[in-house]
Amino acid sequence: ALLYLGAVALGLGSAWWVLKKSPWLNPSVEVGAWRTNLQAGSQDAGMYTRATIAVNALLALGRDETMYFIATRDDAGHPLRSQCNYRITGVPPQARWWSITAYADDLFLFDAPNGHYSLNGSTAKLDAAGAFSLSTGPTEQPGLYWLPTPGNRALILTLRLYNPAPTLQAAPQTLVAPAVQKIGDCA
């Protein structure tokens, strides 16, 4: 019985590891701090890609309907942490509608007393150059749209593009990726 329990534990552990920690099974493109899975939502997606998407709570529509870019690191390559403040700046992506959302490492939204869970094409205020800016972190940054990220845990940013331009669908690496830069020291 002990051998059987050990085999079950080994099987479940290896399945978890494959679905959570094996990026080579899911071909992706990286643009700045952001990456996208090239097979998510496509008919070419194999069983591991589909299982990874199911386990990680992403609804993968076809690339003509939506594209997801994920950032788990800043532009300097450091892991994103909720106790750090970040400034995200960029130009609106070529899509009918877009949003940037901050998630905790459990893929749930952070508690946001100000009601800001994401910035999108409707709420973004563009500067004279046509760029948006927002901040994430435990403290509000003056003059920036703020997505609160309380606590001390990993931070995941998701950039969603609905009805992305055909050129972006064909070549995700052409995304003009928003910059993700740490502000000051971490709390």
Q: Is the pLDDT of residue 7 over 50?
A: yes
Q: Strands 132-137 and 145-148, how do they pair?
A: parallel
The order of strands in the sheet holding 155-164 is 28-31, 34-37, 66-71, 155-164, 95-104, 118-120
Provide the pLDDT for residue 24.
Answer: 42
Overall pTM surpassing 0.75 (yes/no): yes
Would you place residue 169 in the very low, low, confident or very high pLDDT band (cuts 50, 70, 90)? Answer: confident
Mean pLDDT computed over 156-182: 94
182 compared with 17, residue with greater pLDDT: 182
